[in-house]
Amino acid sequence: MKRATVVGAGIAGLATALRLARDGWSVTVLERAPALRTGGYVVNLVGFGYDAANRLGLLPALRERDLGLVTTTLVRADGSHKYTVPSAVAEATVGSRALTVFRGDLETVLYEAVRDLADIRFGVTADPSTDTDLFVGADGLHSATRSALFGDGFRVDLPYVVGAFPVSGPATGEAVTYIGPGRTAGLMNFGPDRTAAFFTYRTDNPPAALARGALPALRDAFGDLGGVLGDALRTEPRDVYFDAVSQVVVPRWSDGHAVLLGDAAWCVTLFAGHGAGLAMAGADRLGEALRAHAGVPDALNAWESALRPEAVKRQAMARRGMRQFAPPSDFHVWLGDVALRAMTLPGIRTLVRKGVERANR
Ligand SMILES: Cc1cc2nc3c(=O)[nH]c(=O)nc-3n(C[C@H](O)[C@H](O)[C@H](O)COP(=O)(O)OP(=O)(O)OC[C@H]3O[C@@H](n4cnc5c(N)ncnc54)[C@H](O)[C@@H]3O)c2cc1C
């Protein structure tokens, strides 16, 4: 039996382990963290990511955890109501093949599907010199596997940082969003213990923001906000995700029997909205390529040739789209409002839906 070692038990690592184990590989997953992560932010799994979840047999379990799409209230900085965007607008922007889940729920569903098929160990790591037939570095944006294989310097930092954390409180079943010059804040409330806050802002010096620490930096950038968004920051949130918004651009994804997968290889950023989907599709297609080719290096080369154009396209989309998360001026905020309000008109919404369905094919 061929042996695979997978570093990282995030979406990419667990999806890879699941696909390979089902194809008859003996798989060991090594995760640095002491336990599986829970909670996190909300991810949309759309288009090819949804299709990969289907092929991996995960849709029934994911549907049980689907948060659905909610009405969004756009607010001003003081928390006052600006306008309402019905959930039908969100439906148009994600298309028909879509699920909305907490990242932690997606990882739990993957873990439950693979736990009896693979040897998953927490609190450990490994490097590509490990004696194995296939070594998969699915260790995220700050991948140590990438550094071991190709050296440092393949992260392209965009001028933004992002923070996200779970929020407790009563259920409203609504989302509240503030979009102002240089920054966006959102709170998605799906119920008690099912609420996540999200903040991103533009900065020319992401390392300095990270050095300040999540809460001091986020309170500096958003402390003036009123309403539920300001309240979320005034609590003492736990499990705060806070990082630079960086893409990964590395000339090759594999070297011999070792390969990078997920954010470690091609991080597209949250601005692309397809990172989780690409991780799952990448894992599924890796299984296909390994079935189709006798040698591991040939399979890895064929897999990369087919997948790389998709990652490049999503990275370009993220760079084009990042302004909508942090419009440069009040005028750009106003333009965004006009576009969003237009989408409440059924005719415009149908056009958007058709465009999204084409892009998600
Ligand atoms: C706020 C936000 C919103 C997002 N929204 C969406 C969305 O709507 N749709 C979408 O598709 N994507 C979205 N994304 C992107 C998506 O979450 C990521 O692309 C995806 O989680 C990447 O998965 P990964 O497994 O490659 O990496 P990670 O999730 O980073 O997992 C890497 C794993 O490797 C482990 N690890 C790290 N180093 C080591 C080591 N040396 N040894 C062992 N283990 C190690 C880590 O602990 C972690 O468990 C969003 C991202 C953010 C930040």
Quick: pLDDT tens for 169-222: 777 778 999 999 999 999 998 877 788 999 999 999 999 999 999 999 999 999
| Rounded Cα gap, residues 1 and 314, in angstroms | 36
Give burial (CB, 10 Å; 0-12/13-18/19+) of 297.
middle
Any idea where the domains of the chain sit in the sequence?
A: 3-359
Question: Whose Cα sits closest to atom 4 in ligand 1?
Answer: 270
Question: Whose Cα sits closest to atom 31 in ligand 1?
Answer: 10
Atom of ligand 1 nearest to the CA of 100: 8
Here the tokens at position 235 are: 């609590």
What percentage of the chain carries pLDDT values higher than 70? 95
Contacts 24+ apart (CB under 8 A), 344-352: 344/85, 344/86, 344/89, 349/88, 349/89, 349/92, 350/92, 352/92, 352/93
Atom of ligand 1 nearest to the CA of 14: 25
User: Which of 11, 101, 124, 314 to probe ligand 1 with, by most ligand atoms within 8 A of CB?
Assistant: 11
Q: Quick one: pLDDT at residue 348?
A: 65
| Rounded Cα gap, residues 182 and 15, in angstroms | 35
Atom of ligand 1 nearest to the CA of 278: 11
| Rounded Cα gap, residues 29 and 27, in angstroms | 7
Q: Which whole number is the average pLDDT over 301-322?
A: 94
The alpha carbon of 150 is separated from its chain's Cα centroid by a whole number of angstroms, namely 24
pLDDT at 357 over 90: no
Q: How far is the CA of 10 from the centre of ligand 1 (A)?
A: 6
Domain 3-359 CATH class label:
alpha beta
Here the tokens at position 286 are: 């890796």
Cross-strand pairs, 122: 31
Q: How far is the CA of 140 from the centre of ligand 1 (A)?
A: 5
Whether the CB of 94 sits within 6 Å of ligand 1? no
